[in-house]
Amino acid sequence: MAFEGEYWRPNCPSCGVKMLERAARKSGERFWGCENFPRCKTTQPMTRAAAMTPQTNG
């Protein structure tokens, strides 16, 4: 479920919760990972534009 200001974060297609911006340990490549990890291991690639855009609160 999206809350105010969280519309830029995608929902997990498997369990429906918001996904978090994460980085791969070895390569540092950015991707979306499910907030329910390790119960849900769903990931999605992050677009280059989303990875370069700084996120601000407010």
pLDDT tens-digit readout, 1-53: 545 556 778 899 999 899 999 999 999 999 999 999 999 999 999 876 555 55
Instruction: Determine the pLDDT at residue 4.
Output: 57
**CA 25 to CA 4: how far, in whole Å?**
31
The pTM (predicted TM-score) of the whole model is 0.67
The neighbour count for residue 43, using CB atoms within 10 Å, is 15
